[in-house]
Chains A and B, each alone.
Chain A
Amino acid sequence: MESSKVIHAFYNDDEVLMDAVKAVKAEHLHIEEVFCPFPVHGLDKAMGLAPTRLAITAFFYGITGLAFAIWMTNYMMIQDWPQDIGGKPNFSWWTNMPAFVPIMFELTVFFAAHLMVITFYMRSRIWPFKEAENPDPRTTDDHFLMEIPVNNNEAKITALLAKTGAVEINVVDKH
């Protein structure tokens, strides 16, 4: 893309936005980004975004946590120093397994939850002191913004967006 121009179309209703996204997709135009003040159900489907794989990562993080808990309890309580604590059997990990289940469960949840959240932050590139990326402050309050890159078809896109009920259409230079 040699051009660095984008069109910002503003909407003030999520239903109108959904129809506009569908109209733009029907013209086979690329939507760079949509900014919303709140989640709009079905927007990802309308835009054709791939489903998230975050749940799959969480599953593997959970298994990691479970494995860690099994290793830890086995190493500490059975291998390293198998003391007789209140008559609990410590001949093998299995004979004392029920006592380890609470920690196994908690570590599974701990790993799954925290590593998934960190994954989400990394994939979404969110961190403290990160510079906010919203192109217009109104998109955090009551406006929806669709951003479409321009490739020498500015007039055509503008005409299409005007028909979809946009309340404001700006052509801006992307820095």
Chain B
Amino acid sequence: MYQFSGKLKTFSLALIIVGLVGIAYGFYSAPKTVEEAKEIIAQQASHGDSHATSHEVAKTDEHKDESHSAKEGHHEVVKDAHATADTHGEHHDDAHAEHVLHQLKNKPWSALYVSLFFFLGITLLVLTFYAIQRVAQAGWSIVLFRVMEAITANLVPTSIVMVLVVISAVMHWNHMFPWMGEGIFDPTSPNYDPIIDGKSWWINVPGWAIRSIIYLAIWNAYRWFIRRNSIKEDTVDDNNKTYKLSYNVSVGYIFLFMITETLMSWDWIMGLDPHWFSTLFAWYVLASLLVSALTVIAFVTIYLRSKGALPAVNDSHIHDLAKYMFGFSVFWTYLWFAQFMLIWYADIPEETTYFAMRFNEYNLPFLAMVVMNFVFPILLLLNSDFKSIPWFVVIGGIVILAGHYIDIFVMVMPATVGAQWSFGIPEISSLLFFLGVFIYATFNAFAKANPIPVKNPFLGESEHYHYYNIEHRGEGSGDHH
């Protein structure tokens, strides 16, 4: 049995506390009034930093949105929209300050949300990868089952935080989702948005909240069941009946997961940009989270193996995980590019604004993540020998994880804080907080069960798993056939 060391426990609790303090500071330092926002704008202007110029872009974008929403109707409406925009001109500074205020108010929420979605999604995809391994009756990964199960323990706390965020959105404590704004669906309101109103059969607050809870309930129910059943498999002697039940439930889960994951990525991420839509978006989110999930499995495995807690794991298992990291990095790039290139090529304004915003305001993270998520892993993990060297996998994995954090960041931030983004205390604190929760949940769960599913019918195969290519690296080759 693995012992959750006091040192690690203290470390994770310290991360949680530091993270909480930083998150609280983020909320405390966000401006509360238009005056405070104006002060910040003035400060930015006097500093002459690049954000000052980018405001202009944001402003024109805003106007584009306005007239664009009207374009759907009549040309007269377009004229009207311009007319109102002109009359707005006098109050423009005020309107701009209010706009910035909303973005700055969103900042601590978005910082929390990016990290929350990152960790919740990774944990969810570890769970799904685990279900896939069961359904595929994979022979290599059985010795990693308890590692994956332990990681999925993080699903519970992240789901709880997600529920809190859902509640706070419903209660209008935050304004991350523009379609939840006041008067959006009300034709008599100045905030009325006919495009969003046309989608109100799907994006409405009660529906969104109920769906969110349903997704979380399904995922947590499967996790709770499969963890309990998996531990039961260790002791029961029932001719693999428990094992088969796990198999059947996993099949059902994968089916439900594909549906809930698709809807979840629409509701939780694409809903941040309610004017924009993309058909392969759910796959794209899936790929991003899946490659991160595999990296996290590899990290926890490498750590636990270095502590001697996983004697049955050999270099071939690491090699397979790294191969998956490599393969799904390429898969992510494929989807990222497929989404980007189709929109770039056709250049339909209603789709292109999404990338125009990201290119103008998030140029460095947007392009850096392609290098981090594609070029770096493809060069580092192409060589078969490198894939079985743990420290190589760790280096590759750190860049992949950072890259996919940026990926989520660039999905969320442009919609919620626009040009007001930065990577500071609120963002780092949220990362530390969820990292602490992750470490605590994972290793606490790992210490609670046998580190190997002793009665799994494929265990023997998994323990003798060997990838032929790394035989010459000095690892035992005696049990080869």
Task: Report yes or no: B472 in contact with A99, Cβ–Cβ below 8 A.
Answer: no
**Does A98 count as interface, using CB distance less than 8 angstroms?**
yes
Chain B residues with Cβ below 8 Å from A51 are 469, 472
Task: Report yes or no: B345 in contact with A99, Cβ–Cβ below 8 A.
Answer: yes
Chain B residues with Cβ below 8 Å from A15 are 481
Task: Report yes or no: B344 in contact with A42, Cβ–Cβ below 8 A.
Answer: no
| Chain A residue at minimal CB-CB distance from B385 | A51
**Does A101 count as interface, using CB distance less than 8 angstroms?**
yes
Chain B nearest CB from A113 CB (Å) reads: 16
Q: Mark B336-378, 1 if CB is under 8 A from A, else 0.
A: 0100110011010000000000000000000000000000000
Known contacts: A41-B481, A42-B481, A59-B382. The answer to whether A101 contacts B341 by CB under 8 A is yes
**Does A45 count as interface, using CB distance less than 8 angstroms?**
yes
Bound-complex Cα distance A169 to B102 (A): 88
Within B451-481, the residues touching A (CB, 8 Å) are: 468-469, 471-472, 477, 480-481
Chain A nearest CB from B474 CB (Å) reads: 13
Chain A residues with Cβ below 8 Å from B384 are 55
Chain A residues with Cβ below 8 Å from B481 are 15, 18, 41-42
| Chain A residue at minimal CB-CB distance from B334 | A105
Task: Report yes or no: B471 in contact with A45, Cβ–Cβ below 8 A.
Answer: yes
| Chain A residue at minimal CB-CB distance from B346 | A86
Chain B residues with Cβ below 8 Å from A41 are 468, 481
Chain B nearest CB from A42 CB (Å) reads: 6
Chain B nearest CB from A22 CB (Å) reads: 12
Task: Report yes or no: B480 in contact with A42, Cβ–Cβ below 8 A.
Answer: yes
Chain A residues with Cβ below 8 Å from B337 are 98, 101
Chain A nearest CB from B137 CB (Å) reads: 21
Bound-complex Cα distance A42 to B471 (A): 9
Bound-complex Cα distance A122 to B471 (A): 28
| Chain A residue at minimal CB-CB distance from B337 | A101
Chain A nearest CB from B370 CB (Å) reads: 12
- Tally chain B residues at the interface, Cβ within 8 Å: 15
Bound-complex Cα distance A1 to B477 (A): 35
Bound-complex Cα distance A15 to B471 (A): 18
Interchain CB contact (< 8 A) of A42 among B345, B347, B468: B468
Bound-complex Cα distance A87 to B349 (A): 14
Chain B nearest CB from A118 CB (Å) reads: 22
| Chain A residue at minimal CB-CB distance from B347 | A87
Bound-complex Cα distance A42 to B481 (A): 9
Chain A residues with Cβ below 8 Å from B345 are 98-99
Chain A nearest CB from B72 CB (Å) reads: 23
Chain B nearest CB from A168 CB (Å) reads: 25
Q: Mark B320-347, 1 if CB is under 8 A from A, else 0.
A: 0000000000000000010011001101
Within A44-58, the residues touching B (CB, 8 Å) are: 45, 51, 55
Bound-complex Cα distance A55 to B386 (A): 14
| Chain A residue at minimal CB-CB distance from B477 | A45
Chain A residues with Cβ below 8 Å from B469 are 51
Chain B nearest CB from A21 CB (Å) reads: 13
Bound-complex Cα distance A59 to B341 (A): 26
Chain A residues with Cβ below 8 Å from B382 are 59
Chain B residues with Cβ below 8 Å from A42 are 468, 471, 480-481
Bound-complex Cα distance A11 to B340 (A): 59
Bound-complex Cα distance A101 to B347 (A): 17
Q: Mark B366-404, 1 if CB is under 8 A from A, else 0.
A: 000000000000000010100000000000000000000
Task: Report yes or no: B468 in contact with A98, Cβ–Cβ below 8 A.
Answer: no
Chain B residues with Cβ below 8 Å from A101 are 337, 341
Task: Name B's A-contacting residues (CB within 8 A).
Answer: 337, 340-341, 344-345, 347, 382, 384, 468-469, 471-472, 477, 480-481
25 A-B residue pairs with CB within 8 Å: A15-B481, A18-B481, A41-B468, A41-B481, A42-B468, A42-B471, A42-B480, A42-B481, A45-B468, A45-B471, A45-B472, A45-B477, A51-B469, A51-B472, A59-B382, A87-B347, A98-B337, A98-B340, A98-B341, A98-B344, A98-B345, A99-B341, A99-B345, A101-B337, A101-B341
Given A45-B477, A51-B472, 20 more A-B residue pairs with CB atoms under 8 Å apart are: A15-B481, A41-B468, A41-B481, A42-B471, A42-B480, A42-B481, A45-B468, A45-B471, A45-B472, A51-B469, A55-B384, A59-B382, A87-B347, A98-B337, A98-B340, A98-B341, A98-B344, A99-B341, A99-B345, A101-B337
Task: Name A's B-contacting residues (CB within 8 A).
Answer: 15, 18, 41-42, 45, 51, 55, 59, 87, 98-99, 101
